[in-house]
Amino acid sequence: MRIKNWGIFAFIAGYHVLLLALLPFYISVFSWESLVLFGVTWAISVFSITAGYHRLFSHNTYKAKPVYEWACLISSSLAIEASALQWSHDHRIHHSHVDTDKDPYNINKGFWYAHIWWMFTYNDPMDKRLVKDLLKNPRVMFQHNNYALITIVVNLAVVGIGCFFMHPIAALFAGFFMRLFAIHHCTWFINSLCHVWGARTYAKELTAVDNAVLALFTFGEGYHNYHHTMANDYRNGVRWYHFDPTKWLIWTASKVGLVSNLRWVSDVKLRQMLVKKDKNLLLERVRQELDESSKELHAKLEHLSESFEEKASALMAKIRELKDATEERKKLLEIEIKQQKKELHAMWKSWIQLTEFTSARYELGHAH
């Protein structure tokens, strides 16, 4: 595909070449302080993208105080991934048209296209309707209008400070080139590797996958199948064992009053949604068969999905009632909720077994 964005191409290709050229010189002046500089600036740049650009500005999964927004917007210049307005615009298009020709980083055009090449060829004009909320945010617009200046000042400051503690070449290599290489490829792997290698834990119809290994290097962004299933959740890793430092950062910020209105999806709501998705997917396939066993399977899927829906709705109603109940009523409700959760869990296991059987029979694979 023909290169359209020659400035972006020159910058990315140029710093990769300089990274390799400076490597022998960096080795000769290596110091542990340079690794500290790299680690700190890399971590800050990752958080600025994951907690700031992605979960705050792109998806509005929580609300933030101005000081928090400023911190994200200024520190994101360490990542050099365009302004929050442009990044969020492209990302919202990605979610609206995922895996189609309108998707800016469509994985169906190839691994390397989704990883890096799209940035050299994609130059569609900004659709301001998609980012009306961000256009009204004065902090986002200040960063957008002054992005080049902010980026130059912040990165010069980082390298300059590093020069006080280490050799200038070490400060430049670790505090700029190596950090940029790491943050860029970590981000780009979400668009490429996280649509190729991993598990479709929640939505099997999507190319997005959950990749626990990549989650380690992207501070939780590797749980990409869940993210595409529930993009309005401030968490990507929803299990206790999921490595999602971005989620922990946002939660901690909420406890000190920097952010609020964290949006999240309960296990009950998530499973309710998954049952609906599985039901529609499987019934569409089963309806194509005319034999008696398929009709029987169709009836089982309908019955169990409807029963699960009723049980889940009843449980969520009890949970809502619990908030305003008297102390005496709360005790009774807690007992009822505990029992209903057990029953719903048993139904969930039955649903998994039924859908696995159906998927295997019709060679559909399975999401869970």
Pick the range with the lowest mean pLDDT from 172-176, 200-204, 305-309, 364-368. Answer: 364-368
Distance between CA atoms of 182 and 192, rounded to whole angstroms?
15
pLDDT of the residue at 23: 97
Mean per-residue pLDDT over the chain, rounded: 90
Q: Which whole number is the average pLDDT over 331-340?
A: 85
Q: Which whole number is the average pLDDT over 317-322?
A: 80
115 neighbors 192 (Cβ within 8 angstroms) = yes
Q: Which whole number is the average pLDDT over 326-352?
A: 84
pLDDT exceeds cutoff 80 at 367 = no
Q: Which region holds residue 195: left if phi is over 0, alpha if psi is between -120 and 50, else beta? A: alpha
Concatenated DSSP letters of 193-257: GGGTSSB--S-TTSS--B-HHHHHHTTTTTBHHHHHH-TT-S-S--STTS--HHHHHHHHHHHTT
Strand partners, 63: 260
Any idea how long the chain is? 368
Residue 112: which residues within 8 A CB-CB, separation 6 or more?
Answer: 192
Q: How many CA atoms lie within 13 A of 65 on its CB side?
A: 10
* Amino acid at residue number 296: E
- CB 61: neighbour CB atoms within 10 A? 23
Pick the range with the lowest mean pLDDT from 149-163, 198-212, 234-248, 344-358. Answer: 344-358
Long-range contacts at 278-283 (CB < 8 A, ≥ 24 apart): 278/305, 278/351, 278/355, 278/367, 279/305, 281/204, 281/205, 281/364, 282/355, 282/358, 282/359, 282/362, 282/364
Burial of 24 (0-12, 13-18, 19+ CB in 10 A): exposed
pLDDT category of residue 138 using cuts at 50, 70 and 90: very high
pLDDT category of residue 134 using cuts at 50, 70 and 90: very high
Per residue in 59-84, pLDDT (tens digit) is: 999 999 999 999 999 999 999 999 99
**pTM as predicted:** 0.83
Structure tokens at 367: 């999401």
The alpha-carbon radius of gyration of the chain (Å, integer) is 24
pLDDT category of residue 153 using cuts at 50, 70 and 90: very high
172 neighbors 159 (Cβ within 8 angstroms) = yes
Distance between CA atoms of 243 and 219, rounded to whole angstroms?
7
pLDDT of the residue at 365: 47
Residue 155: which residues within 8 A CB-CB, separation 6 or more?
Answer: 77, 78, 80, 176
Phi (first) and psi of residue 177, to 5 degrees = -65, -50
pLDDT exceeds cutoff 80 at 42 = yes
pLDDT category of residue 368 using cuts at 50, 70 and 90: very low
pLDDT exceeds cutoff 50 at 366 = no
Q: Which whole number is the average pLDDT over 156-170?
A: 96
The whole-angstrom distance between residue 334's C-alpha and the CA centroid of its chain comes to: 34
More confident residue, 62 or 281: 62
pLDDT exceeds cutoff 80 at 294 = no
Q: Which whole number is the average pLDDT over 194-215?
A: 89
